[in-house]
Amino acid sequence: MSASQAGRRGFEPHHPLFFNGMKIVSIEKNSPLYKKVSPGAELIRVNGQAASDILDFHFCNTEEILSLEILENGLIQNFTIDGFSDPGLEFEQMKIKVCRNKCLFCFVHQQPKGMRRSLYLKDDDYRFSFTHGNFITLSEMTDADFDRIIAQRLSPMYVSVHATDDKLRRCIFQNEKLEPVLARLQQLTDSGIAIHSQTVVCPGLNDGQHLEKTIEDLSALMPGVQSLAVVPVGLTKFRDRLPQLRSFTTEESREVLDLVKKYQKKFLKQHGTRFVFPADEFFINARVKLPNLSYYEEMFQFENGIGMARQFIVDFNRRKRYLPKKTGKSITVAIVTGKSAESFMKADIMPVFDNISGLNVSLKVVENKFWGENVTVTGLLTGNDIAESVAEINPDCILLPPNCLNGDDLFIDNMSLTEFERRVNCPVLTGTYDLAGLISRAVNFLEVN
């Protein structure tokens, strides 16, 4: 937030006590500020510009010399340091701006009580959209926020649109005060901010002609809006007292693919890009072969589950030559996956292991009993469901997809990896999508032990 922006928002622009500074939590020993500043102090300005978070700090940190204003015990201290050196300051993490919409299909609302606290957080923070690729709705943003995105060139941004028809969009978001989205997107793209958009589609709600309108309206903002992801709604069994929604049928999934294909052909001819991409789930639900990797172009929406399956297959094929030709003893390895990956795993991956003498690789497709049968991705498998499933085959080693665990090695049901290993009573390997490498690690480990 700049001083001029603060003034427009009703603050006294020249008084540092009116700014929300950046709280310093630690100072490294090699920092020029070591023992000159204490943890708890706040960085107020960098080179005369207000600094309220790490993005402000990096935006202001562009000069050969840094002038830092630090507030400690009610007093302002001024420091000058080399702009090319690391100031050695660790700041308090940014507080996430939360979403106040009540989207009809919001996953947060489809959870039972008693899950870990972070799972109930509805992030709608444009800063994390820029730094982490999180999708935001734009509904929590002020004029000053838009000004900041433009001034600091926070590009690209990731925006959940869901529908460009304003009445329908307000219905989906359950927010009658939601302002028109196209005008805001136009403001950003006219100022050079790239946008990657998504629409979560529900059969009978925002598919069909509504999806066509969304595609046409957003494509009119090309090249500023660079991509549109079409993602099927995900529904859990915990929808008591929530609006009635349903999943796509096989035939409806094919209809979505046909609609998207029509526009892709048009855009590829006119603009040299397909622009709109369906999630892998549509191909799997429709029982249609996954496209080649080139189909996904720059893979802008990879983390949104678009091109992820094909990339996995391609990476495996590139690495499979490093698999062992045989094992020194009989080994049984279980590969854990969700229902959504079953078809391509069986067709493109599993046959390769038939040629390895002594190695028995079992694909364990885990039914999601916790969330319900409509939730089929590996990232939402609980430790308890996996443990119960693999107990049926008693493998020598279990290979877990890395997205089953968070950074603290906890499954989504809070089961720890240590507890899981006790339950299954065998070694567990995880941490990579390089399946060929993971198989080789398992074989090497089991042959030695």
> Using CA atoms, how far apart are residues 239 and 103, in angstroms rounded to an integer?
13
Domain boundary among 306, 327, 357: 306
> What span, in angstroms and rounded, lies between the C-alpha atoms of 363 and 335?
5
Mean pLDDT of the chain: 91
Give pLDDT tens digits for 239-287.
988 999 999 999 999 999 999 999 999 999 999 999 999 999 999 999 9
- Contact, 230 vs 278, CB < 8 A? yes
Structure tokens at 127: 């800063």
Question: Which parts of 234-273 fold into alpha helices (H)?
Answer: 250-271
Residue type, 203: P
Total structural domains in the chain? 3
Q: What is the pLDDT of residue 2?
A: 30
Query: Do 339 and 416 have their domain in common?
Result: yes
pLDDT the model gives residue 95: 86
What average pLDDT does the segment 11-38 reach?
Answer: 74
User: How many other C-beta atoms are found inside a 10 Å radius of the C-beta of residue 65?
Assistant: 10
Confidence of residue 448 (pLDDT cuts 50, 70, 90): confident
Q: What is the pLDDT of residues 50-109, one digit of tens each?
A: 888 989 888 887 778 889 999 999 899 999 988 777 789 999 988 889 999 999 999 999
Taking alpha carbons only, the member of 244, 248, 242 closest to residue 230 is 248
Q: 3 or 429: which carries more pLDDT confidence?
A: 429
Question: Does the pLDDT value for residue 217 go beyond 50?
Answer: yes
pLDDT in tens, 159-200: 999 999 999 999 999 999 999 999 999 999 999 999 999 999
- pLDDT for the residue 196: 98
Mark which of 91, 123, 148 sits at the end of a domain.
Answer: 91
For residue 374, what is the domain's CATH number? Answer: 3.40.50.2300
Same domain, 186 and 283: yes
pLDDT in tens, 335-373: 999 999 999 999 999 999 999 999 999 999 999 999 999
User: Do 51 and 200 belong to one domain?
Assistant: no
d(Cα 236, Cα 239) in Å, to the nearest integer? Answer: 7
Alpha-carbon span 372 to 370, nearest angstrom: 6
Say whether both 294 and 336 belong to one domain. Answer: no
Strands of the 397-399 sheet, one edge to the other: 357-365, 326-337, 397-399, 428-429
Question: Do 135 and 40 have their domain in common?
Answer: no
* CB-count burial class (<10 Å; 0-12, 13-18, 19+) for 153: exposed
Minimal CA–CA distance to 401: which of 371, 419, 426, 377? 377
Range of the domain at 44: 3-91
Q: In this structure, is the dihedral angle defined by the CA atoms of residues 274, 280, 283 and 288, taken in order, positive or negative?
A: positive
Sign of the C-alpha dihedral, residues 297, 298, 301, 307? positive
Q: Give residue-wise pLDDT tens across range 369-414.
A: 999 999 999 999 999 999 999 988 889 999 999 899 988 999 999 9
Q: Distance between CA atoms of 381 and 390, rounded to whole angstroms? A: 13
Global confidence as pTM: 0.89
Could you tell me if 362 and 245 lie in one domain? no
